[in-house]
A = this chain, B = another copy of it.
Amino acid sequence: MQESRDRYKAMVDKLKEHNHKLTPQRLAIIRILSESKEHPSVEDISRRLQRDFPGVSEATVYRNVLLIKSLGEVLEIGFAGESTHYDGRKPHPHPHIVCIKCRKIIDPDLQSLKEMVEEITEESGFEVVTYRLDFFGICPGCRTMNA
């Protein structure tokens, strides 16, 4: 998909810009990040990587994901209990809606978010830098299936 290629290119450019080497492992990791819509964990990435690079170290995946995060090209999403997940397609904070039955995650567009940030600023005096918004519920599919 075009979008995946754009993300891939953006990450490569950012790496070059900061004079980081383009190793095959690194490129494979950003390829996976740019193509994955399911918010993979380090373990997921590592597993997929084995196909092309049997024997990549998990530490390498950790280090690279961390590096790419520090460049602002991947979003870290830690759900309680599970290991941390990453979104390389939309690297900026955004709300999620997670289905507690099928685990599907969707990214809604919320008009009310802007208003909420304003309310926080007014009420608390905080300067909001970033946020983490996750709603958990039952998706339309699982609702009908179950009832």
Contact = CB atoms under 8 A, between A and B. Distances in A.
Interface of A: 76, 78, 80-81, 84, 97, 99-100, 106, 108-113, 115-117, 119-120, 123-140, 143
A145 to B, nearest CB: 13
A141 B101 CA distance: 42
Given A80-B76, A112-B119, A115-B112, A137 B127 contact: yes
A21 B119 CA distance: 44
22 contacts: A76-B80, A78-B78, A78-B81, A80-B84, A109-B123, A110-B119, A110-B123, A112-B112, A115-B115, A117-B135, A120-B135, A120-B137, A124-B140, A126-B137, A126-B138, A128-B136, A128-B137, A130-B136, A131-B136, A132-B133, A132-B134, A132-B136
A48 to B, nearest CB: 23
Contact of A132 (B99, B128, B132, B143): B132
Contacts of A100: 129
A110 B117 CA distance: 10
A129 B135 CA distance: 8
Contacts of A106: 124
Contacts of A115: 112, 115
